[in-house]
Structure formats: structure tokens, C-alpha cells
Amino acid sequence: MKLNLKIWRQKNNKTKGKIQDYILDGVEEDMSFLEMLDFLNNKLLNEGGEPVAFDHDCREGICGSCSLFINGVAHGPERGTTTCQLHMRKFKDGDTIFIEPFRSRAFPVIKDLIVDRSSFDRIQQAGAYVSVNTSGNTQDANAIPVSKEDADEAFNSATCIGCGACVASCKNSSAMLFTAAKISQYSLLPQGKVERKQRALNMVKQMDLEGFGACTNTGACEAQCPKEISIKNIARMNREYLMANIKK
Amino acid sequence: MLKSSIGRKFLMALSGLFLIVFLTQHFIINITSVFPDDGKTFNALSHFMGNNLIVQFVLQPVLILGVMVHFSLGIYLEIQNQRSRQVSYVKRSINNGASWASRNMIISGLVILSFLIMHFYDFWVPEIMYKYVDHNPLDEHRYFHELQVKFQELFRVVIYCVSFILLALHLLHGFSSSMQSMGITKGPIKLVSTLFAVIIPAGFIFIAIFHYI
């Protein structure tokens, strides 16, 4: 198939970027979206041009590296999948495809389609962990009873891959779904309950410091999350944060 | 806590829920104006609300404070949220999985604010002038007549109807959203908020049209 690609090109975060047009012929429907970009880059390199920079790693929907805003939707038109899981059979011959980086003040563009998502790392470092005594006497996690409901819910929250689609799709560029998923993952489990107050306070504080917007509960994050994390996690985070302030 | 994004959301939700309680109370009084008793019930309730010391000097200032907090914080948060994305997308899906009502709370909110200014000018200012500036004698039978006079003008009825449609949209998202902001997810929140968002504004529209006809 032949595609008209409109790709955001930006040298670095100091310069302004713009959309550049590329006509790409010979795209096969079995290619993944990232393979299509590889195909384009090969063509650009053969022609002596500058390849399009984009993030990728596992290419199997686990790492959360590939994060593109495709035709106005985070990770493209297929629900519940990452960009690397999107295949060209979802498009038609002659289609025009807009490809942009995830946009947020807290996700500055590094180059072309690559953005700096280290703000997510700093939020996690603020409290998304369990302090464990590693002296050799650590209790086996499996010896602590956890109800099936809580375990399932915590696991669902833990499926967040930190790709940033929630931020990209939110009109306020809010990172609350991400932060809420990380807080929920621990607060639902007995091991995580010990530090729940500090976790909620510290992670929310860091989230605000990074410059993300505030959630207005539109649900766009949930709709475009490749792991379909529920916004009920945000309600849980609100509860955790409010209770942590009351019991401080 | 109120300096944090969640704290501000909480305050927004709390003030919104307070205004919902006030709106319900306002509706209950207004709906009595369509009772077939020549405004007797409406006059009695209006006279009570307009002359009870607790309502006038405790609840009324709290209500004004609630309105000011809700609107000023809403506008402030909207500006803050706009700043969190400095470069806009060239192409963006129209709704991104979110309803029009949820994406445009600032628009419906500003329409409601404009309506409130008009509503205050129409009813609240003349009432304050009547009682506290001109020091007129108490007349517990005037309220129903004043209401009927106001709704004889078509432009006012149209503005009321449009404003209440926007209020319905605002409530459609705002009610359930306030619960989410306060961390409440259990119970039939969506159903209750949808019913409230439809019934109360539709009731106010009915009252306006009833008196116009």
C-alpha cells in the first residue's frame, strides 16, 4: 500500500518542530507500525536523508517505550494495544497518517518523536516501592494471605507499563492515571499498606512538581490506555491522598 | 493539602456538591409556583427564605462563598491545565473517548456564570434593594406576582432554557466527577447523577415555560 505520512520532525527541544510529508510506497499490511517506520528510515538513509527518531524496545507491548500519537489518538486506532502491536492492516491504501510525539510540558521532546518521560521515573522513585529488609530474614511474600479480589485488582493496576498514553490523551495532560495505578498496585497489598500514607503524599507531590495538569475525570486516559487501566484507580488514589492528609 | 492538584479537585467537588444541594432546595421551592393554589405555597416558602435570619445571614453568605470558590477555582484550574501542554497536537481525535460535557466544563460553567449574573440582577438585587435599601414594608404575597411578571418576556425564557440545558450538561459530568474526586466509587453514582442532571434542569425549564404560557 501507498501512504502519505505526515511526521513531526524536531531537531531537539531547543528548536521548533514541524510536520513533514513523506510518500511511502510498498508498505505491507503484515508490517507492524514500527516496522513501517523502519522501512521509511531505510528509504531515507538510502536517499541520504535523516532517519526519523522514535522510541522502541521490546516490540511486544510490555516495555511502554513506543509511544506515538497516531492520527490524533495515543498508540493509534486500535484499542488496548501499544504502537508496536498496531499493524498496517488497520490502514488503507492511500491513507494519510499523522504521527506526532506524546505532548506534555512534562514530556519535553528530545528529537522528532522521542520524548523525555523521566518525570514518570521520578514519580515512581518518590514512593512506588515497598521497603523490604534484605538481611536474609525476609518473609516469603507467598506466606502472607491476600484475598483474590485484592490480588486481581493490584495485578490489574500493576499492568501499567508507564508509556504515557494517559498524559498524551488527557486534555489537561494529567498523569493521574499513571500515578494512581502505581499507588493502587501497592496500597491494595498487605506489603504495601505499611507505607501507604507516605507513598500517596510523596508521589502526588512529585507528580505536581513535574508540571502535569489536574484530572477532570473525562475518562480519555482510560479509553486510550493500552493496558485499559480503570479510572477507578484515580478515585482510589484520591481516597489514599485525602486519608493520608487527615491522618498525618 | 489545598495546594496540591488532588486537594484543589476535592475543594472543587465539595463546592460543587454544596451547590447541588442548594439547587435542589431552590427547585423544590420553585416547583411550588406551578401548584394550583395561586402561589400561596410559593409565597409562604419565599417569604420564609427571604426573612429567616439564619437563611439570610448565615446560609446566604455561605452560598455566595461557595459560588465564588467553585467558579474562581474552576477558572484557575482550567488556566493551569492549559499550561501543562505548551505545544498542541496538529491532529487530535475529536473526543479521545471523552464526552462533550466532560471536555467542555469551562464552557458550560461560564454560560452558567453569565446566567447567574443575570439571575442575580433579575431577582436577588431587586430583593435586597426592596428589603434593605428602600426598607419597604413586609409583603408576603408579592413573590408569586414578581415571578410571573419576569417570565412574561420571551427573551428571558429563552435565555433561561438555554442556560438550563448547559446546566444539565455541566451536571451530567460534574455530579459523578465530584464523587470520583472525593474517592467515592461505590453505589449507582452514574445513574443518580444522570437522573439529577436531567430532572432538575428540565423542571426549571418547565417552570419558566409554564409561567410564560
Pairing status of strand A109-111 against strand A114-115: antiparallel
Average pLDDT over residues B104-118: 94
Does the model's ipTM exceed the 0.90 cut?
no
DSSP alpha helices (H): ranges in chain B? 5-31, 40-51, 53-54, 60-83, 100-103, 105-119, 125-128, 142-150, 154-181, 189-212
Q: Which domains does chain A possess?
A: 3-111 (3.10.20.30), 118-246 (1.10.1060.10)
Give per-residue pLDDT as tens, B122-135: 888 888 888 778 77
Cα distance between residue A186 and residue A127, in whole Å: 10
C-alpha cell at A200: 500517596
Predicted confidence (pLDDT) per residue in B146-177, tens digit: 888 888 889 889 999 999 999 999 999 999 99
pLDDT value, residue B148: 87
Q: Give the pLDDT band (50/70/90) at residue A138.
A: confident
Contact B89 A205 (CB under 8 A): no
- Min Cα–Cα distance to chain B from A220, Å: 5
For CA atoms B130, B132, B135, B139, give the dihedral sign: positive
pLDDT value, residue B51: 83
CA distances (Å), origin A246, targets A18, A126, A160, A235, B26: 48, 20, 28, 16, 33
Residues A99, A190: contact at Cβ < 8 Å? no
Placement of cell 505532548 in the chain? A103
Q: Is B190 on the interface with A (CB under 8 A)?
A: no
Asked if the C-beta of B79 comes within 8 angstroms of chain A's C-beta atoms, the answer is no
Q: What is the pLDDT of residue B136?
A: 74
Give chain A's mean pLDDT. Answer: 94
Interface test with A, best of B93, B171, B193 (most A CBs within 10 A): B93
Phi–psi pair at A68, nearest 5 degrees? -120, 145
| End-to-end CA, chain B | 51
Predicted confidence at residue A128, as pLDDT, reads: 92
Q: Does any domain span residue B16?
A: yes
- Split at pLDDT 50, 70, 90, the class of B183 is very high
Cell of B172: 451530567
Which of B84, B96, B102 is the closest to A217 by Cβ? B102
CB pairs under 8 A between A and B: 132
- Report chain A residues whose CB lies below 8 A from the CB of B97: 169, 219-220, 222-224
Task: Using alpha carbons, select from A172, A184, A170, A240 the residue that is nearest to residue A211.
Answer: A172
Whether the CA torsion A48, A54, A55, A60 is positive or negative: it is negative
CA B86 to chain centre: 33
Helices (H), A66-142: 118-125
User: A residues 109-168 near B, CB within 8 Å?
Assistant: none
Instruction: Give percent of chain A with pLDDT exceeding 70.
Output: 100
- pLDDT tens for A73-120 read 999 999 999 999 999 999 999 999 999 999 999 999 999 999 999 999
Residue B93 lies in a domain: no
> Which domain covers residue B44, as residue numbers?
5-82+101-212
* pLDDT value of residue B206: 95
Interface of A with B in 166-225 (CB under 8 A): 169, 171-174, 176, 204-205, 207-208, 211-220, 222-224
Q: Say if residue B1's pLDDT is above 80.
A: no
Retrieve residue B13's grid coordinates: 467537588
Tell whether the model's pLDDT for residue A247 goes beyond 80: no
- Percentage of residues of chain A with pLDDT beyond 90: 90
Question: Which CATH number does the domain housing residue B129 bear?
Answer: 1.20.1300.10
pLDDT at B143: 85
Kindly state whether residue B92 falls inside one of the protein's structural domains: no
What is the number of structural domains in chain B? 1
Answer whether residue B95 is part of any domain: no
Cβ-based burial of A18 (10 A; exposed 0-12, middle 13-18, buried ≥19): exposed
pLDDT at A44 over 80: yes
Mean pLDDT of chain B: 91
**Taking CA atoms, what residue in B is nearest to A237?**
B183
- Indicate the residue of A104, A213, A220 with minimum beta-carbon distance to B98: A220
Q: Residue B91 domain-assigned?
A: no
Q: Which residues of B touch A4 (CB under 8 A)?
A: none
Question: Within an 8 Å CB–CB cutoff, is residue B70 touching chain A?
Answer: no
Q: What is the pLDDT of residue A182?
A: 96
Assess if residue B94 is contained within a domain.
Answer: no
Residue B79: Cβ-neighbour burial (10 angstroms; 0-12, 13-18, 19+):
exposed
Q: For residue A46, give how far its alpha carbon lies from the nearest alpha carbon of chain B (Å).
A: 29
Q: What pLDDT is recorded for position B2?
A: 75
CA distance A143 to chain B (A): 31
Which pLDDT value is given to residue A136? Answer: 79
Q: Please check whether residue B87 lies inside any domain of the structure.
A: no
pLDDT value of position B93: 85
* pLDDT tens track for A141-198: 788 899 999 999 999 999 999 999 999 999 999 999 999 999 999 999 998 999 999 9
